[in-house]
Amino acid sequence: MAKRRKRPAPSSKARGLAQLRGYWEPEDLSEFQNPLSSVVETAMKGLGLEDRFNEEQVFEAWSTLVNPFVAEHARPISLDRKVLIIQVLHSTIHYELERMKGQILAKMQAEFGEKNIRDVKFRLG
C-alpha cells in the first residue's frame, strides 16, 4: 500500500525563492515511487493473472509431443475450459487418435500440468 503524502507548508525561504524564480520547485517524491515491476506484479495478482496459462505454448509443443505423422494430419485449434481441441484431417487418423487419447493426454499433462489441461477432444475437419 502506498504511503499517504502530507504536504508540509512551504518555508519562508522556499516562498521567497519561488517568487524570485517565478515558479515553485517540484517536491522530491522519490520516496513515494514504486518500481514498475512491483506495480505490474501487484496489478496481475489483483486481476488473478499471476500464473496465467498461455495456450500458444501448447500449440507450439504439439509437433514435438506427438509423432511427425500425427503432427502433419492433426493440429490443436483451441484450448477451451482446459479442454484441448484437436482438428483431425481424416477419419482413420481420428480413430487412431481416439485410441491413443490416454497417452496424448498424459504427455500433455506431464508437459503443462493437470490443472491446465483436463481433457483432449478430437474433431474432424
Q: Flag whether pLDDT at 9 surpasses 80.
A: no
Complete domains list, the chain, with CATH: 12-47 (no CATH), 55-124 (3.30.300.180)
- Looking at every residue in the chain, the average pLDDT score rounds to 85
pLDDT of residue 5: 65
CA dihedral 26→32→33→34, nearest 10 degrees, is 180
pTM above 0.85, yes or no: no
With a CB cutoff of 8 Å and minimum separation 6, the contacts of 85 are 76, 77, 78, 79, 121, 122, 123
pLDDT of residue 89: 92
Grid cell 484450448 in the structure block, residue: 79
**Confidence category of residue 18, pLDDT binned at 50, 70, 90:** confident
Tally: H helices and E strands in the chain:
6, 3
Tens digit of each residue's pLDDT (9 = 90 or more) over 35-56: 888 888 888 888 877 666 677 8
